[in-house]
Each structure stands twice: as structure tokens, then as C-alpha cells.
Amino acid sequence: MRRIVYPVAGAIITFFIFFLISMTLSPDWSVQRRLYINAKPVVIAPYINNLATWKTWNEWAERRGVNSIALTCKLPEKTNCVVDLQDNHEIEECLVMLVPADFGAYVVLKVSGKMHENPFMRFIVGYHNDMIGADLENSLKELKNKVEKHS
């Protein structure tokens, strides 16, 4: 009987400890990348403010399985997007900022979100910077290529 009770009790206690730890972890996460583009903000803005064009350079959106992207704010320096993901229980928001520089502009791409349903998914929040960061970097490089090629 002990051969069954002790392992089962140990598994239940371990599960309970992991659950308690996960409840203390923040469900919020944020990843940010920036890249200099040799073009004025006025030239870059149409690539960001037009959803059809936005989807062509944004690898992050494609990899994450985006159902829809709704631009909630379009300004010359800042564009907010709310992103709906397929089969994903997260709320994500994307912020794209243009910061004018000497002969061009820095494009800052920031994605933030909140994990909701599964408390154990909070353990991976710390890895979002690595996982999503690479997609953001590739997206910015693609945007840079498109903008500089056409300007």
C-alpha cells in the first residue's frame, strides 16, 4: 500500500507547490526591440499605419497565428494595435513608435500581454523575451529592408 500512497501523495504535494508558486508569478510580460531605419518617419509611417502593409513585414504576427490586428491609435510617432491570436488564451497589445534621429528614425516595436487561464503558463513568461524577441528583430529587419528599398 505504501508503494502507491507515497508516490501519489508526493506527486499531489509537488503539483500543489508548483501551483502555489505559479500563483505568485506575474502573468504580465513585455518584449521590446528597436532598429534604426535610414528614412524619415513620414516615409516609414505608411508601412505601420496600413494594416495590409503592416502584415507583410511583421514576422511576429505571422508566427503567433494572428486572427486579426486592429489598429486602435494611428499617430505619426505611435501606433497601437490590439492583436487577436488563434487558440491562445492571452491578451496581447503591440505598440510601434517612431523616434526621429539625425537622418532617419528608430522604430521601436513593443509587444506586451497577460497570461490568463493556465497558471502554469506563467512559468514561461520569463522566456517571452527570447521567444518573441527574435521574431520582433526579424520583423524590424524586414521593415527596414522594405522601407530603405523603396525610399
Per-residue DSSP letters for 41-92?
HHHHHHHHH-HHHHHHH-HHHHHTTEEEEEEEEE-SSEEEEEEEETT--EEE
Predicted TM-score of the model (pTM): 0.72
Q: What mean pLDDT comes out for the span 6-18?
A: 90
Pairing of strands 78-85, 28-37: unpaired
* CATH class for the region spanning 2-150: alpha beta
DSSP notation for 19-44: HHHHHHS--EEEEEEEEEESS-HHHH
Q: Which three cell numbers stand for residue 55?
A: 502584415
Rounded mean pLDDT of the chain? 77
Instruction: Please say if the pLDDT value at position 31 is more than 50.
Output: yes
Q: What is residue 144's predicted lDDT score, i.e. its pLDDT?
A: 93
SS3 for 151?
Answer: coil
pLDDT tens digits, one per residue of 91-141: 667 777 888 888 888 888 888 877 766 777 777 777 777 878 888 898 899
Instruction: Please say if the pLDDT value at position 76 is more than 60.
Output: no
Instruction: Please say if the pLDDT value at position 145 is more than 90.
Output: yes
Q: What is residue 82's predicted lDDT score, i.e. its pLDDT?
A: 56
